[in-house]
Amino acid sequence: MIDLVDVTKVYPGGVHALAGVSLSVAAGELVAVVGPSGSGKSTMLNMLGTLDRPTSGRVVIDGYDVSQLSDRKLSALRAHRLGFVFQQFHLAPGVPTLDNVADGLLYAGVGLGERRRRAEAALERVGLGHRLDHEPNELSGGEKQRVAIARAVIGDPALLLADEPTGNLDTAAGQGVVALLRDLHAGGTTVVVITHDRELAEGLDRRVHMRDGRIVEDSATMLRVG
Ligand code: ADP
Ligand code: ADP
């Protein structure tokens, strides 16, 4: 479904964030990306999500080399195939939960009524059907992250990318978010999640371990490098 082929990323200033990363994620996988801070996890996730371009190497989604796609095609691909969840929730302040989630369909060409109807369904799916009118500052951290997940999956993305989704949550709330990611995975969504949470990672089918901009271990291939 998605392949990184010998991807490097050098940031302006010369940091080599990725130094030749190849990774294949198949439809239906649930993958944890682990490794120390600064090892390139977020940069790799941004490549998988086409949020940033590699310095060299290829990103291939559904057989399409992303660098060959027009900006329009790429936006369409992002809107229809990908969902994103971040550590900091990224909810719009002062906006009711229902509309925060409905905004996930803003670029999908769906009318407001239908966006809200689907937002309500997505919020029910994450156990927040009773919080439609609440604003983010009236929600707990765990609830905020569940709202963010509802927004990420409202368009029914094939691939959900989550960057430290439990990083700002206490243990119980984090477990709720993990259970939700598992539910989504069981429902057919491919999930790639960056985590520092050992327990979370150990519970997942596949772990990709990064260090210094490289994948040094991948439990799927039993790859183990120095
Ligand atoms: P994490 O370790 O949780 O992935 P970071 O602190 O590495 O988070 O990065 C947080 C944000 O800051 C990211 O958007 C990243 O791209 C950006 N960032 C990280 N390091 C630098 C840097 N040296 N210069 C500019 N931006 C950076
Ligand atoms: P991780 O997610 O594992 O913490 P990152 O991918 O955020 O790692 O960062 C990898 C390296 O790239 C780090 O050295 C970080 O400081 C650097 N980096 C990340 N984002 C930026 C950026 N926007 N500009 C410059 N350097 C960056």
Tens of pLDDT, residues 26-46: 999 999 999 999 999 999 999
13-44 per-residue burial string, b: 16 or more CB within 10 A, e: under 16: eeeebbeebebebeeebbbbbbbeeebbbbbb
Which of 8, 52, 3 is CA-nearest to residue 29? 3
* Ligand 2 atom 7, closest CA: 42
Q: Does residue 41 sit in helix, strand or coil? A: helix
Which of 85, 98, 61, 51 is CA-nearest to residue 153? 85
- Which residues does 118 contact at the CB level (< 8 Å), separation at least 6? 102, 105, 110, 154
- pLDDT-derived band at 57 (thresholds 50, 70, 90) equals very high
Predicted local confidence at residue 200, as pLDDT: 82
- Full-model pTM: 0.88
Residue with the two structure tokens 């790639």: 192
Closest ligand to residue 43's CA: 2
State whether the beta carbon of 37 lies less than 6 angstroms from ligand 1: yes
Q: Find the Cα–Cα–Cα–Cα dihedral 97, 195, 40, 100, rounded to 10°.
A: 0
- Which residue out of 4, 7, 10, 15 has the highest number of ligand 2 atoms within 8 Å of its CB and is therefore the one to mutate? 15
* Ligand 2 atom 17, closest CA: 17
> What percentage of the chain has pLDDT greater than the value 90?
79
Predicted local confidence at residue 106, as pLDDT: 87
Q: Does residue 197 sit in helix, strand or coil? A: coil
- Which ipTM score applies to this complex? 0.74
- pLDDT-derived band at 87 (thresholds 50, 70, 90) equals very high
Closest ligand to residue 164's CA: 1
- Is the pLDDT at 107 greater than 70? The verdict is yes
Which of 61, 153, 146, 68 is CA-nearest to residue 108? 153
CA 217/CA 215 separation, integer angstroms: 6
- Which residues does 152 contact at the CB level (< 8 Å), separation at least 6? 83, 84, 85, 104, 160, 162
Atom of ligand 1 nearest to the CA of 15: 23
Predicted local confidence at residue 216, as pLDDT: 95
Predicted local confidence at residue 226, as pLDDT: 53
Is residue 127 within 8 Å of 97, Cβ to Cβ?
no
- pLDDT-derived band at 128 (thresholds 50, 70, 90) equals very high
CA 141/CA 173 separation, integer angstroms: 7
Q: Quote the ligand 2 centre to 209 CA distance (angstroms).
A: 16
Atom of ligand 1 nearest to the CA of 37: 2
Closest ligand to residue 47's CA: 2
- Is the pLDDT at 223 greater than 80? The verdict is no
> What percentage of the chain has pLDDT greater than the value 70?
98
Mean of pLDDT over the chain:
93
Domains and CATH numbers, the chain: 29-37+77-224 (3.40.50.300)
